[in-house]
Amino acid sequence: MKFKTPFLLAVVFASASLSAAIIGTNPPVQPLTRERIATLPAAQQPAWREYLEHSERQMQADRAILQNEIKTNGLKNPVAPREVTGVKGIDLDRPTAWYGQPEGRRIADIIVSFQTPAGGWSKNLDMTSSNRAPGELFAPDSISLFPAPQDNDAPHDIHWNYVGTFDNDATITQLRFLAKVVAADPQRSDASRSSFLRGLDYIFAAQYPNGGWPQVWPLEGSYHDAITINDDAMLNILTLLGDVASGTNEFSFVSAETRAKAGASFQRGLNCLLACQIVANGRRTVWCQQHDALTLQPASARNYEMPAQTSGESAHIVLFLMQLPNPGSNVVATVRAATAWFDAIKINNAAFQENGAEGRMLVPAPGSGPIWSRYYEIGADRPIFGDRDKSIHDNVNEISRERRQGYSWFNDTPKRVLEHFRRWNPGLNGR
């Protein structure tokens, strides 16, 4: 059943006059385990077992290298790294020549020093001040500022989480920077070249047998094992692999063999992305922020991130698909179904804005919109909202003020999708 905009809006505002409606509880996600792999068809199990064993071996090797550094340098405890938000300071928009100059090469050296033994990079690290010191952790703790019992975001080890990740633009940003340094100064960039190729191998190793990628590799467990679309993690990987496979611009130094490997990895990833599109009531819709590694079903993440159809990340996926040259019939069908869904569930005449002491709230705003809720209930297409206690609500105004203030619950990104779709003509490519 597809709800139209007036119905959606009526549901949103009608519930504001009722008592708080908790419509469910966010379930925990299942990590990748041997027990779960054993439930797969026999022919699929060997590849998944090999993948999991490789991850476990790499995790042990990574930890052993840090412990050896601590022991060799006479340290009692590992050194805490300097933390920043995202990938601050790693600039990808400088003039081409800048990357071959002393400042560009200096930052490249720091980036190389923070590469994990597995070949990736962690998030929220300062990679512009100084090289990683022996015995320094590869990642800050990144623990929740609002811990709770049985918190979905609680790490198994506060000193070892997000060690190698695609979250918050990590790994992909570092690889793009290194490629620019190599292209700008090929005669003095051996370390950057080697680090870049190790980073590509990290991407290849982290890719699941079905083509998806986890958020963290080696695998960390919990929702980090899910195929991660959130924050454009999978799109960032696919876009980089597509650029590498093309061998153009700063990637011309990559060998033909590696370009072919990147192209094959890209295609497997694209096929997985298309397979993850949610089908509800017999119709294709959009995507969840995470999908289970084995079943591809929508999966939860943090306490307030429930299995749901998501608008923002799905909009970015559709924009990505519409940029593909020579899209196949499956890509065309995927795009058409997703845009139809976006058009059906848009919200007009409402705004999510500051409302005095109550903080941000969804309020009537004649003439405003369209906007889209971040999450929609699968099968019902109604907006839903999560809170830190794992409760799921049908009214954003009923969740805690802290979560209303600290999370992006509405966006207008699908508007760009609908505008671009009107101009998109896959028939020009023979479809």
Annotated active-site positions, please?
168, 302
Contact status, residue 309 vs residue 376, Cβ threshold 8 Å: yes
Secondary structure (3-state) at 176: helix
Instruction: Enumerate residues 6+ apart whose C-beta is below 8 A from 17.
Output: none
How many other C-beta atoms are found inside a 10 Å radius of the C-beta of residue 409?
19
The first and second tokens of residue 43, run together, are: 């022919």
User: Does residue 353 contact residue 361 with C-beta atoms inside 8 Å?
Assistant: yes
Alpha helices, H only, 22-127: 34-37, 45-72, 102-113
Q: How far apart are the first and last CA of the chain?
A: 30
Closest listed residue to residue 206, CA positions, set 140, 121, 124: 121
- Whether the upstream peptide bond of residue 325 has omega within 30° of 0, thus cis, is no
Is the distance from CB of 245 to CB of 238 less than 8 angstroms? Answer: no
Q: How many whole angstroms separate alpha carbon 430 and alpha carbon 263?
A: 22
